Amino acid sequence: MKIKPISKWIPNLKRPLVIAGPCSAETREQMMATAKAVVELEDVRIFRAGIWKPRTRPNSFEGVGEKGLQWLKEVKEETGLLVTTEVANAGHVELALKHDIDILWIGARTTVNPFSVQEIADALKGTNIPVMVKNPINADLALWIGALERLSLAGIDKLVAIHRGFSTAEKTDYRNIPLWRIPIELKRRLPELPIICDPSHITGDRNRVNLVCQKAMDVDMDGLMVETHPQPDEAWSDAAQQVTPTMLGEILKSLKLKTEFSHDRSFDQELNDLRSQIDRIDSELMENLHMRFNIVERIGDLKMKNNVTALQVHRMDEMIKKVSDLAKSMGLRGQFAHELYHVIHEESVKIQTEMMRSFLKKDTKDSE
């Protein structure tokens, strides 16, 4: 995938790149008040506002529509900030382009639908406008990458990913559970793709936005998109999670930035040393597992000769309990040992059932 570095299309880029602005455009006054306040914060380079809002239930506020695009244009002219809004279909794209919106974003509810993403990609052909793609609401990395690929194939190379957390049926402390391993895996697969974190939709709670901003910096994300409103409690959508411009300023000031590489040589040395210890332990772990599975095969042989099934539930329960207790006594999490041994035990059973199957095949061949 061809991705143009963000520094090539946003001048004087610094980390973090901050996108601020309300969940929804409500009135011209609200937009101007927010924009004039956030432009004072040095890191804020892009102003966001939703014009068309995907809402869970009908008859809630669904956005001001086209007139909001005019307000975004005014924000751009008055403050010099770049402006961005969400598009969900070809009609939105056409209107956003007509009003000179600088950057578009695709929302989480749209990324899940390849038909919609393709419709947007087709409408964008020949423009090369920057596009930010939020993760799909479900934890499906392939779907997220697929959406980026559709845009890339349409000739868009100014691409950005936005991590906004994932919907889950479980009750958690988050509005959308972050599952950091997913954006981290995205970064591993597409290292040149900038990733921005949206702590507002992850937490759903303005008092915890700062924690997720810091975590995003700790995992080396490139920027933050923070919903900001002059009177958050009065907001027409997502009231609980929006911060005031003053709060945003405080959050940004409090961030501790780390770099991926340190220039301190003794740090590098110590890190390399610790990493080689980890590598050694990992190879010992593998050797031990290899030995364990050799024994599993010998047990498999014995079971076959005595006509015994591969899986014996009581043995599995006993073994998993034993290792969980051992792990706990060493100060490890019992649950961790439990999950790990489920996987190891599953592999053992697989090895033995596989042995039995090939034995049966051989047996029928011999008797033919």
The H or E element that residue 97 is part of is: helix 90-98
CA–CA separation, 156 and 97 (whole Å): 14
Asked if residue 229 binds ligand PEP (CB under 6 A), the reply is no
Output phi, psi for 46, to 5 deg. Answer: -130, 140
* Residues 306-335 interacting with ligand PEP (rule: CB under 6 A): none
DSSP of 289-328? HHHHHHHHHHHHHHHHHTT--S--HHHHHHHHHHHHHHHH
Asked if residue 43 binds Mn ion (CB under 5 A), the reply is no
In the bound state with ligand PEP, the residue whose beta carbon lies nearer, of 124 and 133, is 133
Asked if residue 50 binds ligand PEP (CB under 6 A), the reply is yes
Is residue 106 within 8 A of residue 88, CB to CB? The reply is yes
* Residues 227-246 interacting with Mn ion (rule: CB under 5 A): 238
- Total residues in contact with Mn ion, by rule CB under 5 A: 2
CA–CA separation, 303 and 348 (whole Å): 13
Q: Which of the ranges 68-76, 101-109, 282-290, 330-338 carries the binding residues for ligand PEP, by CB under 6 A?
A: 101-109
The minimum distance between CB 48 and ligand PEP, in angstroms, equals 7
Asked if residue 161 binds Mn ion (CB under 5 A), the reply is no
In the bound state with ligand PEP, the residue whose beta carbon lies nearer, of 53 and 150, is 53
CA–CA separation, 49 and 244 (whole Å): 14
Q: Which of the ranges 94-102, 103-111, 297-305, 358-366 carries the binding residues for ligand PEP, by CB under 6 A?
A: 103-111
Asked if residue 187 binds ligand PEP (CB under 6 A), the reply is no
Asked if residue 134 binds ligand PEP (CB under 6 A), the reply is yes
In the bound state with ligand PEP, the residue whose beta carbon lies nearer, of 79 and 242, is 242
CA–CA separation, 296 and 280 (whole Å): 24
CA–CA separation, 325 and 333 (whole Å): 9
Asked if residue 132 binds Mn ion (CB under 5 A), the reply is no
Asked if residue 92 binds ligand PEP (CB under 6 A), the reply is no
* Residues 7-36 interacting with Mn ion (rule: CB under 5 A): 23
In the bound state with Mn ion, the residue whose beta carbon lies nearer, of 26 and 238, is 238
CA–CA separation, 235 and 296 (whole Å): 62
CA–CA separation, 27 and 120 (whole Å): 27
The minimum distance between CB 46 and ligand PEP, in angstroms, equals 13
CA-wise closest residue to 19 among 249, 224, 237: 224
* Residues 191-210 interacting with ligand PEP (rule: CB under 6 A): 201
In the bound state with Mn ion, the residue whose beta carbon lies nearer, of 23 and 159, is 23
